[in-house]
Amino acid sequence: MFVFELPEIGEGVIEGEIVKWLVAEGDLVATDQPICEIMTDKATVEISTPHGGRVARLHGDEGDVIKVHSTLAEIETDGAGAAVTPAPSNGLAAAPAPAAPAAIAAAPAPSATPVATPTAPAGKALATPAVRHEARKLGLSLQGISGTGRGGRVTRDDLARANAPAPAVAPAVPQSNAVPSGHEERIKIIGLRRKIAEQMVKSRFTAPHFTYVDEVDVTALWDMRRRLKGSAEAQGVKLTFLPFIIKALCLVFREFPNVNANVEEDPFTLVVKGDVNIGIATDTERGLYVPVVKNAEQKSALQLAAEIADVTDRTRAGTVSADELSGGTFTITSVGSIGGMFATPILNHPEVAILGVNRIHERPVVRDGAIVVRRMLYLSSSFDHRVLDGAVAARFTTALKKVLENPERLVLDLR
């Protein structure tokens, strides 16, 4: 019997939460097979067993917090079980939360025309952790996929070819009373959702929030983006409004540097940042993540558009690095694609401000005594009232509004 203890999974990490068991008692596991996902304050990582065999006992339930070196599983290593290669864990693992950098190496980029190379020898298929994550998400067994990467390594393109879409099936007619009256379901809040809750409580009760809302006429910005979309698409970049808003922020931060800052609680200190590192609140199947686009003040709108698309796509896929989720100086949260007028965002502590970008509405407004149709946008920003007064927030938002309503000002700030 091999007693598998939770190994050390990061400097200074003394405990972790069991987010998901990837095996069950009685299962046969292979050497180096992931058996569970563990979340720490720094990342979510898969824990692999160093010995194969049959799982005799699992210690702890999903949501339990266990100490490093505590018993995680007991594995019978006698007999044929130790040499068994398990079947794919279909449906057992949802797309994992961003893992530590060592666990999310990017797959090698394929050539324009993939050339088949010798596949990996019988046994464990060759693939990066990121590709293994994706394979489990798709319910694919790497053993049955011929790798076209270097040395027979399975790539993302190989997964895509193996996961060719099946014919569409018409959805079933929804039932009108799917949940009977009087029924209740109790859902244990674990993993990332619990971490989000803890961070929201810390932010809300540490920094006294206040929200300032203003309306912006973005008709000129809308037209400018429309004119530039074709040029961006020709370079393979989808151009949204966010890059222009970020460039406008970089310009306005010069006049209001204290808004681009963090707060240190002990001793109580405002740390004003020279770098503009913009967090992009990103909705994923696993919860809310905030990847950070760093040094935005040094990048063009086109570069920002490409980087935003890349980092948010990798965040949703669970392959973003821990470093890309830290170091923010200011956050943008956008729910415009969903709808609504405006919201009151919660600060991403220790940042001192967050900008809410809402839906653009086309509606009649009065201009020079005439009623005209304009494209209007609500900005709803929250601030840490301990370090930013209401008048400062109002002037900051007004300055940002002026740039967005006259986007040609950004041309004067090209880098």
Q: Which residues are catalytic?
A: 385, 389
Residues in a beta bridge with 3: 74
Report the first-to-last Cα separation within the chain, whole angstroms.
Answer: 63
Tally of CA atoms within 13 A in the half-sphere of 341 that contains its CB: 4
